[in-house]
Amino acid sequence: MASLPSHVIAALGLGAFFYKPGVPKRVWVVGAVCSVIPDIDVIGFRFGIQYGDFWGHRGFTHSLVFAAVLASAVVFLGFRAGLPNISRLSMWTYFFLATASHGLLDAMTDGGLGVAFFAPFDNHRYFLPWTPIRESPIGLGRFFTIRGSAVIRSELLWIWVPAGALVVSALLLRLRRPANHARPNEP
């Protein structure tokens, strides 16, 4: 796993592409929560589920199908009535990408088993060809160790910096786009 704060940062970076003034903040909070939900599978260790199993760590909850199901459930249960300034399709896309980004980042780590991206159709575990992110220990206690600092450095470089770059590029894209409505005059 990459660490929990890094998954949240990645989700917020993606959110920059969906950001518009007036969108309720809870959309970004829900996106951040979606990005950490796949690791709910670690509770399986307590019940004897093996890492490589379908319900094991980085199994089904890290798949693209799970991301689609979670995004659909969240939009249907939480935002069925719609929200101002963001369509339900945009929300679905954001929640899907936020959830799917979790598996993608895990597949860039240098430890554990790979990610079952295509479960339930194919339970093979995949890594990306490039795995620059140091594997984060499971459990916050072990995170703050010597090895933890190496993990933090690699996550800052490969997750936080790119997430910041996403935000900057989203801002630049918005600046280049001509405003399609006049701003109301401030009193």
Verify binding: residue 1, Zn ion, rule CB under 5 A.
yes
Among 12, 30, 35, 39, binds Zn ion (CB under 5 A): 39
Using rule CB under 5 A, residue 67 touches Zn ion: no
H helices, E strands: number in the chain: 7, 0
Q: Which is nearer to Zn ion, 39 or 155 (CB)?
A: 39
Which two tokens mark 53?
């199993």
**155 touching Zn ion, by CB under 5 A:** no
Q: Which of 23, 119 has the CB closer to Zn ion?
A: 119
User: Which C-beta is closer to Zn ion: that of 106 or that of 155?
Assistant: 106
Token representation of residue 98: 């936020």
37 sits in the region (left: phi over 0; alpha: psi -120 to 50; else beta) called alpha
Is the separation of the CB atoms in 159 and 5 below 8 Å?
Answer: no
Q: Which is nearer to Zn ion, 42 or 170 (CB)?
A: 42
Whole-number Å distance between alpha carbons of 168 and 171: 5
Q: Does 107 engage in binding with Zn ion (CB under 5 A)?
A: no
* Strand-pair partners of 83: 86
Minimum Å gap between C-beta 36 and Zn ion is 8
Rule CB under 5 A: which residues touch Zn ion?
Answer: 1, 39, 106
